Amino acid sequence: MQTGPEADEPCLRADAARNRARLLEAAARLIAEHGVAGVTMEAVAAAANVGKGTVFRRFGDRTGLLTALLDHSAKRLQADFLSGPPPLGPGSPPLERLRAFGTAVLHRTAEQLDLQLAAQPEPTRRFTHPAFGSLHMHTTVLLRQIVPGADCELLAHTLLASLDPALIHHLTRQRGMPMERLEAGWLDLVARVTGTDRPR
């Protein structure tokens, strides 16, 4: 199991790792300012003040860069819910952690909506992607503590499906729903699925 953001790259030299982080931060800034369309290899190189060749050597192509950006953010979220402060991390009751988890995923997805949509895997790989596996495992583990008798593996899929980037895109951009309604919907869904009270 992963324990930190860079646990899969133990051999990356420190300066290369710093370089990589700088490029990813530059790419994230470009997306925040200009949307996903603003992220070109050239723009990232310019924003990070390195040569274009460095960006290509590090990420291969634009898809590789966008994928690395999502992986980076997914590992941060994973670190937050596995070992960060409560209520998302350990220390809060599982029901509170589950509520905080969905709210955190909702906000992360809303912030990265274009990026996540652009990187959506094929239908046959949506649920085998390691980042999804980590979210599903965490949700299942929390559910097993809240509703031990239930089919928690299936219920976790249902809960996560309500946080699907394509659905969030549809609800917020195509149906014009405010994020507050989606957050309230998550808390209501958790209450219904677990048979618990809504938070005050």
For the CB of residue 158, give the shortest distance to a copy of itself in the complex, in Å: 5
Which stretch, 36-44, 46-54, 88-96, 177-185, contacts a copy of itself (CB under 8 A)? 177-185
The answer to the question of residue 117 lying near a copy of itself (CB under 8 A) is: yes
**CB burial string 179-199: b at 16+ within 10 A, e below:** eeebeeebeeebeebbeeeee
The answer to the question of residue 158 lying near a copy of itself (CB under 8 A) is: yes
Which stretch, 47-55, 68-76, 102-110, 126-134, contacts a copy of itself (CB under 8 A)? 126-134
Alpha helices, H only, 10-92: 14-34, 41-48, 52-59, 62-83
- Running DSSP on this structure, what letter comes out for residue 198? P
For the chain, helix, strand, coil in percent to 5 are: 70, 0, 30
Q: Which residues pair with 92 in a beta bridge?
A: 90
Per the structure block, which two tokens stand in for 151? 């089919």
Per the structure block, which two tokens stand in for 168? 């969030």
Per the structure block, which two tokens stand in for 169? 């895109």
Q: Which of 162, 172, 176, 199 binds a copy of itself (CB under 8 A)?
A: 162
The answer to the question of residue 124 lying near a copy of itself (CB under 8 A) is: yes
Q: Which of 2, 40, 67, 120 binds a copy of itself (CB under 8 A)?
A: 120
Q: Which residues bind a copy of itself (CB under 8 A)?
A: 117, 120, 123-124, 126-128, 150-151, 154-155, 157-158, 161-162, 164-167, 169-171, 174, 181-182, 184-185, 188-189, 192-193, 195
